[in-house]
Amino acid sequence: MLELDGSKGTAHFIKKWEGDRQQSYLKLVNVKKRTGATEYTASDSGKFVTLFAIECRGVEPVSWMCKNDFTITTEGGAVFEDVTFDECYW
């Protein structure tokens, strides 16, 4: 995490645009705080589920690319590493 100038806040990406007084930033937000979900179960299969949330100030993401760094643990305890998502919705 990076510290924001003149603030106790932090962010994952910070950019100071020429001519702007304040920094622009992007921060990943705890999904549990936004959705109340603590985990995803088999009952979520086939449904839209939120995996992450982003707070943006002064920046606007225009695309996102899924990477292979996901690990999934099933209800039965099986672990799948390097999981890919073929369908990612922005």
Average pLDDT over residues 55-73: 82
> pLDDT tens across 7-24, in order?
899 999 999 999 999 999
More confident residue, 37 or 60: 60
Band (37; pLDDT cuts 50, 70, 90): confident
Q: Where are the domains of the chain?
A: 2-83
Residue type, 41: T
pLDDT higher than 60, residue 38: yes
Question: Which pTM does this prediction carry?
Answer: 0.63
Q: Is 43 left (phi over 0), alpha (psi -120 to 50) or beta?
A: alpha
Average pLDDT value for the chain: 83
